[in-house]
Structure 1
Amino acid sequence: MALYTKRRIAALSGVLAVALTATACGSSSDGGGDTAESGSTSSIDCAPYTAFGDLKGKTVTVYTSITAPEDAPHIASYQPFVDCTGVEIKYEGSKEFEAQLPVRVKGGNAPDIAYLPQPGLLNTLVQTGAIKAAPPEVAANVDKNMPDWKNYGTVDGTFYAAPLGANVKSFVWYSPSAFADKGYEVPTTWADLLALSEKMAAEGGDVKPWCAGIESGDATGWPATDWVEDVMLRTAGAETYDKWVNHEIPFNDPAVATALAEVGKILKNDKFVNGGFGDVKTIASTSFQDAGQPILDGTCYMHRQASFYAANWPEGTEVGPEGEVWAFYLPSVDSSSKPVLGGGEFTAAFADRPEVKAFQTYLSSVEWADERAKTCGTGGCVTANKNADPSLLKNPVDKLSAEALTDSAATFRFDGSDLMPGAVGAGTFWKGMTDWIIGKDDKATLDFIEQSWPK
């Protein structure tokens, strides 16, 4: 699952609604073209937005699964556009985004723009006729800046949604000092990872090798689907992974069963989990935001979670190779291959007013991608924009993620559940994995998901 409600130390209830106060665009001090300042850190050319007419006083609503603490940098990144155009951006983040967005669309209460973390959900919503095709200005930006991701926002040959953020999921969080104290080395193969887990379990006493949590409100279960996808890439390879995602092989194919069994060697092993929380079943009731925190108090050693988890460590936590927490690459079956699982959001519009088109254009620009990096310091600031300036990334995890996404030796694949039909990828796959954690066996779990695939 993507970027969704995937973030926070403590869960917030309800919805966060924030409005940016609009100000008019000023002129540059040297008398040249119009520019706007975001605080004292950025300036952009306002010319691309003047083509949409006088937008001062207009409002654009944004609905997303990105909640605190990751929402604030997003909101701050809009300021140059606000300064240029005078448009007010009303931001609303919700933990129930995936469930509530279709309800709002059906009820005629759709936002102007939604950040969709699943291309499968985009496909479902396109079929309702509610989503507007992306304007040509956005398509031109994506062709220039994010061509490799354009297909994810395209349905039946029509381009609808530009890529926004990007993340790497193939990471394991750990404490470098805890590893050093025990003489543990970062594993370079899957077999090494399992052997290290066995060693930790034998030596750890009350300290478990792993901590995990898959609770996420209406989206409960998605972290477990990420486990299966990451391991499927490693055990079955990219070609079989693609067939699985496209249902060219059934969900209960032997290749999928093998991957699930490998995941079970960790997540369903009481010797290995759930550090700081309890037994295997506590994984289902532990929020993903809280799940990695026992690394800090020494009750678990490792937590598999995406790059955006950097925003969930308590304020002041030092993140880095020599810090309190850091991340290593989830190893493949052998050190010669490097599959990388990732995800991202896509900007889909339910309105085609000029101010909405202008904001879509800004979000697909290099200027926004660079502003996003400047306003963000807690992690999760990488975008899909290949022309963004990587030197602006402040957080070491973002730098690590950017390296992984651009590594020529890596084989990148998008989050499989996000590409599947919404009824499966954001439905039965989540539920099936939750039931699996609670006690359902492998075969029954895979059969349940397979039987739910749309005919």
Structure 2
Amino acid sequence: MRSLALTGLAAALTITTGCSASTPATGELSGQTVEVVGTWSGDEQSRFEEVLQQFEKRTGAEVEYTAAGDELPTVLETRLQGGTAPSIALVAQPGLVARYATDGKLKPVTGNVASAVDANFAGAWKQLGSVNGKLYGVYFKAANKSTVWYNSNTFATTGVGVPRTWEEFLQGGRTLSEAGQAAVSIAGADGWTLTDWFENVYLRTAGAENYDKLSRHEIPWTDPTVRTALQTLAQLFGNAQLIAGGAAGALQTDFPKSVTNVFGTPPKAAMVFEGDFVSGVISTNTSSEVGTEARFFPFPSISGSKDAVVAGGDLAVQFKDDTATTALMEYFASAEAATVWAKLGGFLSPNKNVSSDVYPDDVTRELAKQLVQAGDNVRFDMSDLAPAAFGGTKGAGEWKALQDFLADPSTVDATMQRLEAEAAKAFKR
């Protein structure tokens, strides 16, 4: 495990936002050290370090960052068992946070940190950071997983407009198909993308309250609301002409390939659904330019549903409650801290007081606006909220059930029964 002390890094940005009254004065925390563990490496790590450096400059504290990558849950478990917990961890799995909170390993968020969360975040984000009604964390970085990316050249040549409703989305797909172009490239080889499809449809057809209940398994997967969502999804999955390669081809397509199918040369489909991170694949693996050939629109409204966002995100939680650790948590809850990374790119903040003007391009500005404007209609990725055996295991649980549903969308009732059996086992109910 490698720790990186940030003292001495050159400053890249000057923050103009004033400090809160409770923020320690310059140099007040000199001699104190805070260790932060997160998943970020490479460019993300460098940008996060610039955020931390601003805190160091203001307070005099030293911050050490440990990049744990995808092994973060294992790293934390080992550290906790060894009695060497970090000060703060940035965790993307709410289930892990809930377990640590229930086991008494986390410190609740109180005082100035809780006040900053109330001032800067919609209530939905506070709820997402809470366990049994008690706040345990601050969402610092978020992902917008309610975006459909499209090839603007293909739309222009076929005369298809940007759809706002599910009906328009399907009709546009039929128009594309009639013009000889598959409408959508689906990454069916990666079961997690299919859970995102389901979640976006379910949030719009069943509503936020039922979404919360299903995510906690308080209603079964045999509930009529699940049937409606699967039947709606089958309108796309069941029409082979709308899908690049049909269902069989989709089940052989991984996520990066689904993106290059749309933005490669020549394009094999006009649209691909997934989160804001699609832009990274476009920039790395194709010659298309994000904001020009590659654009996005919000996941379509279904039956008049309001704007809503399925999100992911990294929650800062504290294992220690010394003065320096709590001060850094308050900083993470501020618009000031988020603004540092927002200016550098590759970042979305759920903080409603971060100005959209600070984002470096129009696409990111629009992604951030969509995330913030959804307000309390933001819901966390349901599969990430579930036990991993159900919502996060390759070839099993929800991933495999939805892959089989993509292969045969006529099996709505059988899919519901299978999902309920798998969920009941995972939730032990």
Report the TM-score range of the alignment, normalised by the length of the smaller protein.
0.7 to 0.9
1:398 aligns with 2:364: yes
- 1:236-251 aligned at under 5 Å gives the runs 236-251=206-221
Please state whether the residue corresponding to 1:42 is helix, strand or coil: coil
* Residue 282 of structure 1: aligned partner: 252
Separation in structure 2 between the aligned mates of residue 43 and residue 335 of structure 1, nearest angstrom: 42
1:296 aligns with 2:263: yes
Single out whichever of 342-351 and 328-337 deviates more from structure 2. 328-337
Letter in 1 for 2:196: D
* Residue 186 of structure 2: aligned partner: 212
- 341, 344, 367: which one aligns with 2:310: 341
Offset of residue 87 of structure 1? 1.0
- C-alpha change, 1:425 and 1:308, in structure 2 (3 Å) is farther
Separation in structure 2 between the aligned mates of residue 411 and residue 420 of structure 1, nearest angstrom: 17
* Residue 54 of structure 1: aligned partner: 29
Please state whether the residue corresponding to 1:279 is helix, strand or coil: helix
Instruction: Could you tell me which runs of 5 or more consecutive residues in structure 1 were left unpaired when the two chains were aligned.
Output: 1-14, 25-36
Letter in 2 for 1:193: F
- 1:409-424 aligned at under 5 Å gives the runs 412-417=377-382, 420-423=385-388
1:82 aligns with 2:51: no
* Maintained 8 Å contact 1:117/1:418: no
Letter in 2 for 1:365: S
Offset of residue 106 of structure 1? 4.7
* Residue 422 of structure 2: aligned partner: 449
* Maintained 8 Å contact 1:119/1:418: no
1:222 aligns with 2:192: yes
1:21 aligns with 2:6: yes
Letter in 1 for 2:23: P
- 1:4-403 aligned at under 5 Å gives the runs 19-23=4-8, 38-42=11-15, 48-50=23-25, 53-56=28-31, 58-64=33-39, 66-84=40-58, 85-97=60-72, 101-102=76-77, 105-106=80-81, 108=83, 110-146=85-121, 148=123, 149-204=125-180, 207-213=181-187, 221-267=191-237, 270-274=240-244, 279-283=249-253, 286=254, 288-297=255-264, 298-314=267-283, 317-320=288-291, 323-334=292-303, 337-376=306-345, 378=346, 381-403=347-369
Separation in structure 1 between the aligned mates of residue 42 and residue 256 of structure 2, nearest angstrom: 11
Letter in 1 for 2:398: M
* Maintained 8 Å contact 2:38/2:91: no
Separation in structure 1 between the aligned mates of residue 77 and residue 395 of structure 2, nearest angstrom: 17
Separation in structure 1 between the aligned mates of residue 339 and residue 145 of structure 2, nearest angstrom: 22
Please state whether the residue corresponding to 1:307 is helix, strand or coil: coil
Offset of residue 128 of structure 1? 2.2
Letter in 1 for 2:315: F
Separation in structure 2 between the aligned mates of residue 372 and residue 262 of structure 1, nearest angstrom: 38
TM-score, normalised by the number of residues in structure 1: 0.78
Please state whether the residue corresponding to 1:314 is helix, strand or coil: helix
Offset of residue 243 of structure 1? 3.0
* Maintained 8 Å contact 2:251/2:403: yes
Single out whichever of 132-141 and 296-305 deviates more from structure 2. 132-141
* Maintained 8 Å contact 1:169/1:226: yes
Please state whether the residue corresponding to 1:338 is helix, strand or coil: coil
Partner deviation per Cα, 1:147-200 (whole Å, 9 max, x = no partner): 522222222333210121233322100111111012112222212212322333
Please state whether the residue corresponding to 2:313 is helix, strand or coil: strand
Separation in structure 1 between the aligned mates of residue 403 and residue 211 of structure 2, nearest angstrom: 26
Instruction: Could you tell me which runs of 5 or more consecutive residues in structure 2 were left unpaired when the two chains were aligned.
Output: 406-410
- C-alpha change, 1:213 and 1:109, in structure 2 (3 Å) is farther
TM-score, normalised by the number of residues in structure 2: 0.82
Separation in structure 1 between the aligned mates of residue 75 and residue 231 of structure 2, nearest angstrom: 33
Partner deviation per Cα, 1:32-88 (whole Å, 9 max, x = no partner): xxxxx9325435667823499534473513223x45554443333222113232413
Letter in 1 for 2:276: S
Separation in structure 1 between the aligned mates of residue 108 and residue 26 of structure 2, nearest angstrom: 19
- C-alpha change, 1:430 and 1:180, in structure 2 (3 Å) is same
- C-alpha change, 1:249 and 1:292, in structure 2 (3 Å) is same
Partner deviation per Cα, 1:285-332 (whole Å, 9 max, x = no partner): x1x345312221112211111223333322585322xx0201012112
- C-alpha change, 1:38 and 1:195, in structure 2 (3 Å) is same
Q: Superposition RMSD on alpha carbons, in Å? A: 3.4
Offset of residue 231 of structure 1? 0.2
Separation in structure 1 between the aligned mates of residue 417 and residue 306 of structure 2, nearest angstrom: 32
- C-alpha change, 1:268 and 1:106, in structure 2 (3 Å) is farther
Greater helix proportion: 2
Letter in 1 for 2:171: A
- C-alpha change, 1:102 and 1:309, in structure 2 (3 Å) is farther
